[in-house]
Amino acid sequence: MSELILGIESSCDETGVALVRTGAPGQTPQLLAHALHSQIEMHQAYGGVVPELASRDHIRRVLPLTGAVLREAGVALDQVNVVAYTRGPGLAGALLVGAGVASALAAALDRPTMGVHHLEGHLLSPFLSADPPQFPFVALLVSGGHTQLMRVDGVGRYALLGETIDDAAGEAFDKSAKLLGLGYPGGPALSRLAGEGDARAFKLPRPLLHSGDLDFSFAGLKTAVLTQAQRLGDALPERRADLAASTQAAIVEVLVKKTLAALAATGLQRVVVAGGVGANRLLREQLDAACAQRGVRVHYPELHLCTDNGAMIAMAAAMRLQAGVAQLRRDYAFDVKPRWPLEEISASNP
Ligand code: KG4
Ligand code: ZN
């Protein structure tokens, strides 16, 4: 029997709502509708996300977006079987909005709630594409707050292979972009400017490239960009594109090489890239080229589902339900987990 899952995402600066229908065992759940409101414009004036403003805006947006999703899907609210929400990681106040609204809706409907791990949402987001991956695969999770390589054997079966010891790849993009005087969010801006520059113009470090493990470090890169920018002084404006291109090349090279190392270490032949940085064009080009040479398939979420959205939360909830590993709550109590390692929800760590 199929079930309708409403998913609410509010962990950071995007309010997302979506409706997904579960399928028969072995079938990928189906996205019926999703709606998104990005707060980027609101936070732009401050150069980054202002948590209190984020929470208030989620409150304003979440119910209108829910109404829009139900209308688009042609589904009445009382047909929803499970209300899922992002339980963490993320901004505490922002998470509480989604968790509170989801629990209130579920209580009114007398249906269970389900708290979803935001990174599991990203990890499973390629299942929303027309050509979904098959388990097992290596996942490169590259978001604003996380950079991890995981071995994924199934829904809820995640083993950490390596992760960043300091900044995330998205943070490296954002912080370098800020140093170059580009706006927030820096990733897309830096990558656009990089398209006009010469990636070989500046020699920047490739941290931990030869460390022999699958960990990352990006904090030193940001310092190197700062040093270059200071050295350039007045000449910075005309060299900005070159510095942006060199920065992007350094980040992408490390991500690609470490992903190849993870493939070699696990013997797996499939890669899934998820999280905001997965939208980066150079990363896609270089990873595709390197993997094609090795006969490895690479899967990405659709471009508009790389950054935060409700579809991935509803999808993760639906896949957990179908796999029989969902933890449903019927007491309408909720808590959020601003810090929440993904391994905590892995089957080997129930
Ligand atoms: O997954 P996401 O939407 O949010 C988190 O869960 O953190 O990722 C946002 C991150 C930001 O750091 C943003 O700069 C980066 O993804 N990003 C990009 C691109 N699009 C988004 N970085 C590089 N190139 C892009 N095209
Ligand atoms: Zn995210």
DSSP code string of 296-350: -EEE---GGGTSS-HHHHHHHHHHHHHHT----B-S------SS--GGGGSTT--
185 lines ligand 1 (CB under 6 A): yes
Whether 146 shows a pLDDT value over 80: the answer reads yes
pLDDT per residue as tens digits for the range 86-125: 999 999 999 999 999 999 999 999 999 999 999 999 999 9
Whether 258 shows a pLDDT value over 60: the answer reads yes
Average pLDDT over residues 20-30: 93
Tell me, in angstroms, the distance from the centre of ligand 2 to residue 228's CA: 30
Whether 200 shows a pLDDT value over 70: the answer reads yes
pLDDT per residue as tens digits for the range 147-174: 999 999 999 999 999 999 999 999 999 9
| Mutation pick for ligand 1 pocket among 38, 306, 307 (CB with most ligand atoms within 8 Å) | 307
191 lines ligand 1 (CB under 6 A): yes
Average pLDDT over residues 245-253: 98
What counts of helices (H) and strands (E) characterise the chain?
10, 10
Ligand that comes closest to the CA of residue 192? 1
Sheet of strand 14-21, all strands in order from the earlier edge strand to the far edge: 30-38, 14-21, 4-9, 82-88, 113-117
The three-state secondary structure class of 263 is: helix
> What pLDDT score was predicted for residue 348?
60
Average pLDDT over residues 169-192: 94
Ligand 1 atom with least separation from CA of 281: 26
137 lines ligand 1 (CB under 6 A): no
Confidence of residue 25 (pLDDT cuts 50, 70, 90): confident
Tell me, in angstroms, the distance from the centre of ligand 2 to residue 219's CA: 20
pLDDT per residue as tens digits for the range 265-304: 999 999 999 999 999 999 999 999 999 999 999 999 999 9
pTM of the entire predicted model: 0.95
Confidence of residue 350 (pLDDT cuts 50, 70, 90): very low
CA-nearest of 155, 157, 146, 250 to 208 is 250
Whether 349 shows a pLDDT value over 60: the answer reads no
Distance CA 28, CA 33 (A): 15
Whether 26 shows a pLDDT value over 90: the answer reads no
Which residue, by CA, sits nearest to atom 3 of ligand 1? 307
Average pLDDT over residues 29-48: 95
Confidence of residue 1 (pLDDT cuts 50, 70, 90): confident
| Mutation pick for ligand 1 pocket among 277, 281, 303, 304 (CB with most ligand atoms within 8 Å) | 277
Q: Are 262 and 290 in contact (CB under 8 A)?
A: no
Local structure of residue 29 (DSSP, 8 states): P
